[in-house]
Copies of this chain bind each other. A is one copy, B any other.
Amino acid sequence: MNVFYLPDAREGNVSFPEEESKHIVRVLRMREGDTFCVTNGKGSLFDAELIDAHPKRAMANLLNRRDGYDNRAFKLSIAIAPTKLNERTEWFLEKATEIGIDEIKLFASYHSERRVVNVERFKKIVVAAMKQSVKSNMPIIEEMQTFENLVRQDFHGQKFIAWIDEEVKDQLCNLYDKGSDVLVLIGPEGDFSKDEVELAKANGFVPVSLGEARLRTETAAIVACHTIQLINQMK
């Protein structure tokens, strides 16, 4: 089943912007009467029937608005220092969207090897993954910010900083309370500086380990994301 994204989707006749129209009509060669699925990225899915196969402003009739299977009672946020190689961060974005995530915060840290990213490109990856996995919620990607700003932001929920250090014995999977909103910070290739860990602790973040395995930045971020999802899935 093909899925398209229309942020202002509602039941009734709707028209698609140029890029999505091109995809529907030119790439997938859909014709009037063909059916597909529409996500609004805000928790709802719709059934759709193409009523005008216009290549620049395709129109469809939407019906059967329903909650997506991915609506959750908790909110999962991951903050990540983008990796030196963009494709590693992009891979994380795709996989986290598939597995399920609400918010991705990007930050520049003392040891960051990348301080500039193309957030618009990141958003396209997330939209593609949302459509591919038939999600009704689009993860929000915030613009890059400094580590200092990030840890001083208000966040209502459990706050963790994943830090590789011998003195950190507690694991995320054993400290996270099922059902809670949560924010996990994942450091850059060179990890957080000691000052950064202290600043995070002073702002209520609890240092956690993700286990004994030594993980790359993007792998740690996926492991953190899946840890939270799995604990919420378990009986």
Interface size class of A (residues with CB under 8 A): 20 to 34
Whether the pair B69, A219 counts as a contact (CB closer than 8 A) is no
Determine if A95 is an interface residue (Cβ-Cβ < 8 Å).
yes
User: A233–B98 contact, CB under 8 A?
Assistant: no
* Those of A68-92 within 8 Å (CB) of chain B: 69-70, 91
Q: How far is the CA of A69 from the CA of B211 in the complex (A)?
A: 11
Supposing A174-B235, A222-B222, A230-B230 touch, asked if A98 and B215 sit within 8 A by C-beta, the answer is yes
A-B contact pairs, 27 of them (CB 8 A): A69-B212, A70-B212, A70-B213, A91-B91, A95-B219, A95-B222, A98-B213, A98-B214, A99-B219, A99-B223, A132-B214, A133-B214, A133-B215, A133-B216, A134-B214, A171-B234, A173-B233, A174-B234, A174-B235, A211-B230, A213-B229, A222-B222, A222-B226, A226-B227, A226-B230, A227-B230, A230-B230
User: Are the C-beta atoms of A98 and B133 separated by less than 8 Å?
Assistant: no
B216–A98 touching, CB < 8 Å: yes
One of B98, B219, B234 near A219 (C-beta < 8 A): B98
A72 nearest in chain B by CB position: B212
Using an 8 Å CB-CB cutoff, how does the interface string of A95-113 with B read, 1 for contact, 0 for none? 1001110000000000000
A residues apposed to B, CB below 8 Å: 69-70, 91, 95, 98-100, 132-135, 171, 173-174, 211-216, 219, 222-223, 226-227, 229-230, 233-235
